[in-house]
Structure 1
Amino acid sequence: MACEDGCACCGGPVLAAERRTVLNRRVRLLVGATISYNVVEAVVAISAGTVASSAALIGFGLDSVIEVASAAAVAWQFSGPHPEARERTALRVIALSFFALAAYVTVESVRALAGVAEAAPSTVGIVLAAVSLVVMPVLSHAQRRAGRELGSRSAVADSHQTLLCTYLSAVLLAGLVVNALLGWTWADPVAALVIAAVAVKEGRDAWRGQHCC
């Protein structure tokens, strides 16, 4: 049964070879852009988090590392002449990255709620979260659109990983701003627990190959 939008992986129109080549190239470019941005994001977030003793910022940086692993799996898949043959393995890597992210965010959120460490305000973190809140949705939308037309569940799953990073950016931004203005250190870990629950769902869907429709 085809999707309402006729995406290729669910029985939509078969793509011409030329169009498929264009989409394969586009996915590789988008994945490359995602990896490059997340490497910079990880370095800045972990460095700023260490200076401010912010578990949220360090966790955000580690999420960027996981995002790089997810994007790298898709890049590996599309580096070969037959990406479809590598899709199952790529999906497994993406699913595991979601589960790892959920586990880390949950542990750090519980630690923060227990009062293990209180973060100092971080201007660098606020700017980084704001920039990511703008950049990540653009990358996610472009890759998801290309992945759906191409019929690649792994490309769509990776776009969901990028979208999840957008949610984390919003959570991080809210937590840092509230902490800086009001000193409410509990706001960020509570919201992050919701993100962890979403990550588990996304990981389960990626493992089952349900990210196309």
Structure 2
Amino acid sequence: MTNSEQNLYQKAWLLSLFTIFYNVIEGLVSLFFGYEDETLALFGFGVDSFIEVMSGIGIAVMILRIKQNPESNKSSFEKTALKITGFAFYILSVGLLAGIVLNLINGHKPETTLWGVIVSSLSILIMIWLMYAKMKIGKKLGSDPIIADSNCTKVCVYMSVVLLLSSLIYELTGFAYADVIGTAGLIYFSLSEGKEAFEKAEGKECCCH
């Protein structure tokens, strides 16, 4: 492996670490204010952040393995981690769906969605930067796993946009079902990520679109 390739893998490793630590902070903030403001969409976004941490750890391990042996196959540890992540996304989807049903039955509305606007706006900026940074490195290395990670970061951008739109609509108009609609959008992307995790565990090509 050339020095240039080693430097690129080191950058990919640092990006994966940043992804993990950022999602931990984002998750804690989202869970706290989602609970305090009683907004299901923001709370679900926070739970998703911690699932992304699980996935990010798997990617970090994968990058280390690729750095040592670029031609090696997925290890059993990585496959198990991906399957656990997939199940976690499915469980999150069920939990969010139950929350939607309860909110509709009780006619519950969030106190405010201001923090949803703040968190999602910051997330969009950071995830777009991460997405392009990972894609650039992945293409230079010809590394499918790193490119796949970049494509999956795109899903995080979509989820952030859904949270931003639903939070803005509620904050500006007080539309009663904005939080519910935003949560439904998170369920859609959560199911997509769950499916993607299982496909990667089976060694299929990543296609997080």
Q: Shorter-chain TM-score category?
A: 0.7 to 0.9
Match of 1:190 in 2: 184
Once residues 157 and 91 of structure 1 are traced to their aligned partners in structure 2, the CA distance between those partners, rounded to angstroms, is: 15
For each residue in 1:121-149, what CA deviation from the matched residue of structure 2 results, as whole angstroms up to 9, or x when unmatched? 13122111111111102202221332344
* Residues 68-83 of structure 1 mapped to structure 2, 5 A cutoff: 68-79=53-64, 82-83=68-69
**2:72 paired with 1:96:** no
**2:97 paired with 1:112:** no
Tell which deviates more after alignment, 121-130 or 103-112. Answer: 103-112
Match of 2:7 in 1: 22
Match of 1:203 in 2: 197
**Equivalent residue for 1:140, pick from 122, 131, 155:** 131
Q: Please tell me the residue identity of whatever aligns with 2:46.
A: G
Match of 1:172 in 2: 163
Once residues 120 and 29 of structure 1 are traced to their aligned partners in structure 2, the CA distance between those partners, rounded to angstroms, is: 38
Q: Please tell me the residue identity of whatever aligns with 1:21.
A: Q
Q: Percent of aligned positions with the same letter in both sequences?
A: 25
In 1, are the aligned partners of 2:27 and 2:47 still within 8 Å (CA)?
yes
Once residues 206 and 194 of structure 1 are traced to their aligned partners in structure 2, the CA distance between those partners, rounded to angstroms, is: 19
Q: Please tell me the residue identity of whatever aligns with 2:201.
A: W
Tell which deviates more after alignment, 67-76 or 107-116. Answer: 107-116
Structure 1: state its 5+ residue gaps. 1-15
Structure 2: state its 5+ residue gaps. none
In 2, are the aligned partners of 1:23 and 1:146 still within 8 Å (CA)?
yes
In 1, are the aligned partners of 2:93 and 2:191 still within 8 Å (CA)?
no
Match of 1:40 in 2: 25
TM-aligned CA deviation for residue 212 of structure 1? 5.9
TM-aligned CA deviation for residue 62 of structure 1? 1.4
Q: Please tell me the residue identity of whatever aligns with 1:30.
A: L
Change (3 A) 1:203 1:68: same
Secondary structure at 2:111's aligned position in 1?
coil
Q: Please tell me the residue identity of whatever aligns with 2:53.
A: V
Once residues 197 and 154 of structure 2 are traced to their aligned partners in structure 1, the CA distance between those partners, rounded to angstroms, is: 13
Once residues 86 and 49 of structure 1 are traced to their aligned partners in structure 2, the CA distance between those partners, rounded to angstroms, is: 40
In 2, are the aligned partners of 1:95 and 1:202 still within 8 Å (CA)?
no
Tell which deviates more after alignment, 116-125 or 31-40. Answer: 116-125
Once residues 175 and 83 of structure 1 are traced to their aligned partners in structure 2, the CA distance between those partners, rounded to angstroms, is: 44
In 1, are the aligned partners of 2:51 and 2:89 still within 8 Å (CA)?
yes
Length, aligned pairs only: 198
TM-aligned CA deviation for residue 65 of structure 1? 0.9
- Root-mean-square deviation over aligned CA pairs: 2.6
Once residues 21 and 67 of structure 1 are traced to their aligned partners in structure 2, the CA distance between those partners, rounded to angstroms, is: 26
Change (3 A) 1:175 1:98: farther
